[in-house]
Chain A
Amino acid sequence: MTEDFVQLLTPNGEFRPHLDYPLEPDADLLRALYRDIVLTRRNDVESTALQRTGELGLWCPVLGQEGIQVGAGHAMRRDDYGFTTYREVGLFQVRGVDPVELLQLYRGNSHASWDLTRVGLGLFTIVIGSHALHSVGYAMGIQRDGADQAVLSCFGDGATSTGDVHEAMVFAATYAAPVVFLVQNNQWAISVPVSRQAHAPLVQRAAGYGIPSVRIDGNDVLAGLAVTRVALDHAREGGGPTFIEAMTYRRGAHTTSDDPTRYRAETEVEHWAALDPLDRLTRYMESAGALDEAFVASVQAEADAMGERIRGAIRGMPDPDPVGMFNAVYAEPHPQVEADRQAFIAASTGQLP
C-alpha cells in the first residue's frame, strides 16, 4: 500500500492540516463523528449477533471502514443524494437510516426498507457496479433542474472492474455531471485481492476520463470529510465529477456466510487493526480535550439503547402478510399480477382456482 495519500489525522491521532482540504475540526464536529462511528460499530456488532442467532439471514460487516463512511456522510449536505452498496453502514447511520429499517432487508421481510426520499439514499443494488450509473443519471437530473446539489456514489474496489462503473465514468465526464465517485478500496472483493482487479492504483483510472482524482487515507475520518466535501462542492458548483479512492480494509468477513481464513493471513488483519479509525479519532479528541467522560458515557448509553431497540424490534419480528408480496410490482394495475393475487388468496382460503 502506498503512503501517497491525503491524511489529516495520523494513526497516532495527530492532526495535520492540509492546504487543499481545509478543515477546522471543532469539538462539536468531532463529537458528532465519534458518535456516528460508535453507533455504526454497535449496529455492526448487534446485527452480527442477530445473524448468529438466526434472526437475520445475512449481515455484511463494516468493521474497519467506518472512518471514510462517516466522514463522507458528514461531507454531504442534507439535500445531496447518495448511492451505496450493502457495506456503507456508516453512511446509513449519518443519513438517518433506522437500523431496524435496514435489518428488515437482512431478515427477508423487505427488499429495501428505507424511505429513499426521506434519507436521500438510493436503494442499494446488490448487483455490483450497476448503481454507479444510477448516480450519474440522478446527477444529470440535478443538472437539468439547475439545482444546487450533488451526488455521492460509493462502491468497492471489486466494482471498479465492471463495465457499468466504466460507463458511469464515461457519462459523468461527458456531461460533467455533479457526482463524486467514492471507491472504498478495502483490499478485497470477497476472496479476491485488489491486485487481481487492477495492476495500477485505482486512483489512476480517473485521469483517463479527464476526471480529477485523489487518494486518501480511508481510516481517517477527517480526511474523508474534508476531501469529500471539497469534491461535492466542486460538483455542485458545476466543476463536474471527482474520483476518490479511500484506502481502507475490511477487517471482518465479507458477509456472515464468508470464511476469510481460507484466503488471507491474520497478520494482515492485525496490521490494519492498528490503523483503526476510531482509535485515532479518540486519541486526537483526548489530546484536544474534546472527549470527556460524560460524553463517552452518553454515547455508550445511546449505543446500548440502540442495541436494545434493534434486538427488541428484530427478535421474533413477525413475517409480513403473504399477500403483500403482490404489492407494488407495477405502479399501475397489471391484470396478470391481479389474477395471480386473486388466485393466491383463493388458494390460501382453500378454494380451488
Chain B
Amino acid sequence: MAKKEFSFNEAVIEIEDILRNIESGDLDIDKLSVEVKRASELIKQCQKKLRSTEEEINSIFKDMV
C-alpha cells in the first residue's frame, strides 16, 4: 500500500521543506532527530523508487535490443 501511494515528487518536496526547516535554525533541537529521521526515510524511499524504476527500464531496454 505504502509503495503504491508513494510519490517521488511529493517526497522530494517534503524533504526540501524539512531541509528548509533545519537550515533556518528555527527548528527545535528536540524535533531535529525526528525530522532528520523522516527525511532520511523519504530519501531512502526515493532511492528505492529510482532503483526499481531503473531496473524496470533496464529490463524494457533488454527486450528492445
**A-B interaction:** no
Q: Which residues of B contact A (CB under 8 A)?
A: none
